């Protein structure tokens, strides 16, 4: 399985955790705290797996950028959230460009 696909899975797990933590914060139902915490446990395990195969600088950069795009998209679709101005959407375009550039060349192994 490719690194990028695993990073997408980790980002999705992070979204699940974040959205459940939001529900817990608003509704104070402990099940959302448990769901969110469980998502983060699996996400951290996946991150450890990825870090065994590359370095922190590369994996963290790619994961953060991917997470920004995936979580923004899912929050827009599922949670009906929006940005407050067009500059923020332009920033997302730069993040997408960053993801493309991070995938050029070989994956650092140190």
Calpha distance 12→74 (Å, rounded): 9
Average pLDDT over residues 43-52: 92
**Helices assigned H by DSSP within the chain:** 3-27, 30-51, 56-78, 86-102
pLDDT for res 1: 55
Domain range holding 63? 3-102
Residue 109, in any domain of the structure: no
- Answer whether residue 23 shows pLDDT above 60: yes
Q: By three-state DSSP, how is residue 30 classified?
A: helix
Q: Which of 37, 36, 54, 39 is nearest to 9 (CA)?
A: 39
Task: Give the count of domains, the chain.
Answer: 1
> Is 93 part of a structural domain of the chain?
yes
For residue 28, is it within any domain? yes
Does residue 58 sit within a domain?
yes
pLDDT digits (tens, 9 = 90+) for 59-78: 888 889 999 999 999 999 99
Q: What is the average pLDDT value for the chain, to the nearest integer?
A: 92
Handedness of CA 99, 105, 107, 110 (dihedral sign): negative
């Amino acid at each position: 399985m490719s690194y990028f696909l695993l990073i997408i899975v980790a980002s999705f797990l992070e979204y699940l955790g974040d959205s459940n933590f939001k529900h817990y914060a608003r509704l104070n139902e402990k099940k959302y705290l448990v769901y969110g915490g469980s998502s983060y446990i699996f996400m951290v395990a996946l991150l450890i797996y990825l870090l065994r195969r590359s370095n922190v600088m590369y994996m963290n950069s790619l994961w953060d950028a991917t997470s920004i795009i995936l979580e923004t998209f899912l929050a827009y679709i599922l949670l009906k959230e929006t940005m407050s101005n067009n500059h923020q959407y332009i920033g997302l375009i730069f993040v997408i460009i960053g993801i493309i550039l991070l995938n050029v060349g070989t994956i650092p192994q140190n």
